[in-house]
A = this chain, B = another copy of it.
Amino acid sequence: MMNTTLKLLAQQLQLSISTVSRALKDHPDISTATKEKVHALANSLDYEPNAYAIQLRTQSSKIFGVIVPAIANLFYDSFIAAIEEESRKNGYALMILQSSNNTENELNNLKIFRQNRVSGVFACLSAHTQNLEVYEKMSDRAIPVVFFDIVPKDNKYTKVRMADERCAIIAAEKIIERGAKRVLAIFGDPALSISQKRKQAFQQFMEKYAAKTHCTYINTHSSAEAEAAFDKHFNKSQKFDTVFAMTDEILIGVMKSIQAHNIKVPKEIGVISISNGFIPSLYHPVISYVETSGYELGKLAFVQMLANIKGGKTLSELTVDAKFVEGESM
């Protein structure tokens, strides 16, 4: 069965293509009578405008591109879910590509986006991407880019991210409130700016407001490493009374060790983490955490994108604030 086009409708109705086109979009030039006829036939023939023709003609695509390191990720998938919702509301669709934290993939993805003339792209930098000239290329093409989560340092870009320092500080506050004496603070890959920021903020805050509290700082690269590290440190004579996990990954490792040794939470040890919320809810008792919502970040990113498209430039950096979610682990 053929696709019905404006031409077809026009022929059947003995009208010109332009009239049909205008009738379909309620142009005031067209009489109500014709409009009705056109709509009727369009419905019965199941007319659906060809997006490509429109995009070619109007030079705008109603599609956003999204680059994430990985789709299968608790944080990014909620980010995606958020912009998907907003996009739909605003008549946009999403094209999602994953970089697998690989700069080459990132480049290819951008290329696909350019070729498809997307209206904008949401980009999360790969861990080790340094060269941003590809993104300049997007700007040359007047395609706005909103960076999220892992963002470039340069202030000429539009970016949204979590309030990383705030997260760490909130966690520190809670730890101090608890009256912790000895805390083990576990952070992620030290090469990542997010690890650096969180660690620095945490450490600074602790030193300033709880100088007497004894803190041990370590970095790990995986769940398993975190588990091993916790194991090792917990077996020492001086036991920790509180552990802080910078990410879900780390929390998972810590909790495995805690379960393995049947350590009582929060009696023997207090646990606090930074998380999206899903993982902390898996355990009993439910873990207290500082919330970093990919969902919220997505909403914010979308607002920025829209502003960028409509109004022009918004070269600021916005952050979504963090809040403490009380569990039973502290």
Q: Which residue numbers of A lie inside 8 Å of B, CB to CB? A: 1, 3, 46, 48-53, 55-56, 61, 63, 70-74, 77-78, 80-81, 84, 88, 93-98, 105, 108, 111-112, 114-117, 137, 140-141, 252, 255-257, 259-260, 262, 279, 282-285
4 closest cross-chain pairs (CB), A and B: A259-B284, A72-B77, A260-B284, A52-B56
Min CB distance A204 to B, Å, is 32
Pair B96/A49 contact, Cβ less than 8 Å:
no
Residue of B nearest to A113 (CB): B93
Min CB distance A277 to B, Å, is 11
Residues of B within 8 A of A95 (CB): 63, 93-96
Pair B50/A117 contact, Cβ less than 8 Å:
yes
C-alpha gap A50/B80 in the complex (Å): 26
Pair A72/B81 contact, Cβ less than 8 Å:
yes
Min CB distance A104 to B, Å, is 11
C-alpha gap A256/B137 in the complex (Å): 50
Pair A97/B96 contact, Cβ less than 8 Å:
no
Residue of B nearest to A84 (CB): B98
